Amino acid sequence: MVDCLIAFGSNQGDRERAYEAAVNSLNQHPQVEVIAVSELHVTAAVGGPGDQSSYLNGAIRLTTALAGEDLHQLLIQTENDLGRIRLNRWGARTIDLDLLLYGESQISTPNLTVPHPRMSFRRFVLEPACEIAAEMIHSPSRLTIGQLLEQIGTANRRVLCLVDGALDETFTEIADEFGEKFGSAWTLERVDRCDQINGNPMNAVLIAYFVLDGSTSDTCWMAAKSFKGPVLELPRDPVLARRELFAAIEAIQ
């Protein structure tokens, strides 16, 4: 049996009932046993349309004999059974079940990435998760869930961004808007020398890097993976990159 961690979120309908129904549905599967559930936390919507109502977020810890991909499909089926309709990314939803951790395994397929690529800096994920799984390991950073929550709460409000030469204009555009949106409370710093990233020497809260386009080296990727803390991969399109980065900061606050 594999120890797994699931995130729950809902901002439509009877949110408390959706949580209870999801837990009960998962626990009824013959190859799943729910072993702990967190309290529900009220959180503001992050990254999506600005008129959304608040979310209730929780965490579910379970053990399973299912493979990671099969557990993921079970979560999707549970969402569908409980009335989820998929319209917009980060949009309002009756229920959202995300596979955060599948033991300490790292899974990367076209349909599934585990650990969840944004869990390490999302306060609304980490706070309920810490109630029931503070000691579980986030394998990419080698930090526990509790340590990740501590880092986003105590680290300097500094974000490091690894930038290769082809993205100078993109970074400048994002940095200008970053300052306008977050003011002096946060700083976004460019890092050109990837060897400066070894652990977390500058006590940064997050490091971001741009996804490879097939023509650049993997130096930035390797440097990002050596960072001891939350990591965010950004698309090379400036509009999408800005949206991802700003949503990440909102999720940390």
**9-37 residue pLDDT tens:** 988 888 899 999 999 999 999 999 999 99
Bigger pLDDT: 128 vs 209: 128
Domain final residue, candidates 151, 186, 203: 151
| pLDDT tens for each residue of 133-158 | 999 999 988 899 999 999 888 777 88
Both 167 and 103 in one domain: the answer is no
Indicate if the pLDDT at residue 169 is higher than 50. Answer: yes
Instruction: Determine, yes or no, domain membership for 18.
Output: yes
Bigger pLDDT: 133 vs 215: 133
Strand 137-138 relative to strand 143-144, pairing = antiparallel
Both 51 and 117 in one domain: the answer is yes
Instruction: Determine, yes or no, domain membership for 140.
Output: yes
- Predicted confidence at residue 2, as pLDDT, reads 97
78 closest CA partner among 185, 187, 64, 90: 64
Tell me how far apart the alpha carbons of residues 66 and 195 are, in angstroms, rounded to a whole number. 40
Listed in sequence order, the residues at least 6 apart from 235 whose beta carbon sits closer than 8 Å to its beta carbon are 210, 211, 241, 244
Both 72 and 109 in one domain: the answer is yes
Mean pLDDT of 190-194: 71
Both 120 and 170 in one domain: the answer is no
Strand 107-109 relative to strand 112-114, pairing = antiparallel
116 closest CA partner among 68, 188, 65: 68
Mean pLDDT of 44-52: 69
Q: Out of 163-167, 232-236, 240-244, pick the least confident.
A: 163-167
Instruction: Determine, yes or no, domain membership for 126.
Output: yes
Instruction: Determine, yes or no, domain membership for 253.
Output: no
Mean pLDDT of 214-236: 72
Instruction: Determine, yes or no, domain membership for 39.
Output: yes
Number of domains comprising the chain: 2
Angle formed by the axes of helices 68-81 and 15-27, nearest 10°: 140
pLDDT band at 46 (very low <50, low <70, confident <90, very high): confident
Both 121 and 17 in one domain: the answer is yes
Domain final residue, candidates 116, 151, 186: 151
The CATH code of the domain that includes 240 is 3.40.50
Both 50 and 146 in one domain: the answer is yes
pLDDT band at 55 (very low <50, low <70, confident <90, very high): confident
How many helices (H) and strands (E) are present in the chain, helices listed first? 7, 13
pLDDT band at 204 (very low <50, low <70, confident <90, very high): confident
pTM: 0.88
Both 103 and 142 in one domain: the answer is yes
The CATH code of the domain that includes 137 is 3.30.70.560
Both 107 and 229 in one domain: the answer is no
| pLDDT tens for each residue of 81-137 | 887 665 555 556 678 899 999 999 999 898 899 999 999 999 999 999 999 999 999
Both 96 and 212 in one domain: the answer is no
Instruction: Determine, yes or no, domain membership for 252.
Output: no
Indicate if the pLDDT at residue 47 is higher than 70. Answer: no
Give phi and psi for 112, each to the nearest 5. Answer: -150, 130
Domain final residue, candidates 91, 120, 151: 151
Instruction: Determine, yes or no, domain membership for 182.
Output: yes
- Predicted confidence at residue 199, as pLDDT, reads 61
Listed in sequence order, the residues at least 6 apart from 83 whose beta carbon sits closer than 8 Å to its beta carbon are 13, 94, 95
User: Which position has the token pair 């993205």?
Assistant: 167
- Predicted confidence at residue 71, as pLDDT, reads 97
Both 137 and 167 in one domain: the answer is no
Both 25 and 136 in one domain: the answer is yes
Expressed as residue numbers, the domain containing 92 is 2-151
Indicate if the pLDDT at residue 216 is higher than 60. Answer: no
The answer to whether 143 and 150 are in contact (CB under 8 A) is: no
Both 17 and 102 in one domain: the answer is yes
Instruction: Determine, yes or no, domain membership for 42.
Output: yes
Mean pLDDT of 181-194: 83
Q: Which are the catalytic amino acids?
A: 84, 93, 96, 98
> Across all residues in the chain, what is the average pLDDT?
86
